[in-house]
Copies of this chain bind each other. A is one copy, B any other.
Amino acid sequence: MGHTSTPHTSVDQHAALVRSLLARAMATGTERVPLADALGRVTATAVTSPVDLPLFRNSQMDGFAVRAADLRDGDTILPILGEIPAQRGTPEPLIPSTTVRIMTGAVVPEGADAVVPVEDATIEGNLVTIHRGRRAGEFVREQGSDVRAGAELLPAALRLAPRHLAVLASAGIRDVEVRFRVRVVVITTGAELVDPGQPVDDGQIYDSNGVALEAALRACGAEIVASIRNSNDDADQLHDAMFAAAAGADIIITSGGISMGDHEVVRDVLTPLGGRIGHIAMQPGGPQATGSFEGVPVISFPGNPVSTQISFEVFVAPLLRRVAGLPAATRAPRTLVADLTSIPGKRQFLRGRSVEGGRVELVAGPGSHLVAGLAASDVLIDIPETTTELKAGDTVETIEL
């Protein structure tokens, strides 16, 4: 209970704490959704096929259904006794030494065991000449040759792409059991905050953290169930708003209100509940807090806009991406275009722009207010705590944004 200062926590240690706090919150329930709504959702269980695919033996070509044993090595002339379209119905069995026209996808009649493509046959009135022998099975798609009834169509924990929805539809499946999206409450705090579009006075700034966190959460497959702005430094009011929102949430994410001032609303709500406020050896994003509110884990970032965005990317986004079946952010080594210095004892996440030849250049400085610099970046440059100086041509680790 109370305010715990842990000045030497590393990024990796804090990331492990956040991962542990969120593990249960991200193991969400499941729901059935129609295929049309299932793109990008994650399968809750493996899906097995209720049917054979193909559903029935059918023709791979427009052509003639034949019995292979009726065909000679040279020309064979057969009477054409009818046509089987690709539509509902069971065709009559094939009479030996005759043929029927057949369309791609149509049922191959009993007694036939091969299809001769129309371009390999010569038609004259009601007779067709087949110019060579055929193997039994040629151009015939056997029932169940793609998948057998009862076999697995899709594994569990798969992010559904169009081709996955297609195979479910092919098997006649109309809806699919998927994990719930992780439900998140986003809270931004700060007496200086004004909504975009409103006039600002001296001392006020536009709130970008709400927009940034909500968009970043959606991009990670989460759902925003409530957005709360606290701009009057009133911890009781924040408490009440959190209480109202927590029931429907898996995670609460906050920005601001966790530093050393007199009116730090997130701190004031969390610390009586056992929340931990600490300093992480990183820049931007040094102050970080974690806690629990009505059983819902709370992850709290500092309010500087760049700190908030990078904290989310470093601590929360990797977890949400994994649970949503999204690929992890690409990490790649790149070579520096210019020298740089870094603060000893802090892991820095500098903003960079990748340039040709696998190189990277710095965008703006390390300041946690440089939102335009972050917007102009396409990678973060991840500088270890112990590094203080790097030279042009040195290799650094980058994280794609």
Contact = CB atoms under 8 A, between A and B. Distances in A.
B168 A196 contact: yes
A49 B105 CA distance: 59
Given A35-B211, A106-B203, A211-B166, A85 B173 contact: no
A200 B55 contact: yes
B261 A170 contact: no
A215 B39 contact: yes
A234 to B, nearest CB: 13
A328 interface: no
Contact of A260 (B85, B118, B368): B118
A260 B62 contact: yes
A174 B161 contact: no
A243 interface: no
A240 interface: no
Counted per complex, copies of this chain come to: 2
Given A35-B211, A371-B166, A401 B161 contact: yes
B203 A167 contact: no
A169 interface: yes
A124 interface: no
Nearest to A49: B372
A204 to B, nearest CB: 5
Interface of A: 35-36, 39-40, 49, 53-56, 58, 60, 62, 85-90, 103-107, 118, 141, 145-147, 153-154, 161-174, 190-192, 194-198, 200-216, 218-219, 233, 259-261, 263, 303-305, 309, 364, 367-375, 377, 401
29 contacts: A39-B215, A39-B219, A54-B369, A55-B205, A60-B368, A62-B260, A85-B263, A86-B203, A88-B192, A88-B204, A105-B205, A145-B367, A145-B370, A146-B364, A147-B372, A153-B375, A154-B375, A161-B401, A162-B213, A162-B215, A162-B309, A163-B371, A165-B211, A166-B208, A169-B196, A169-B207, A170-B205, A171-B206, A172-B194
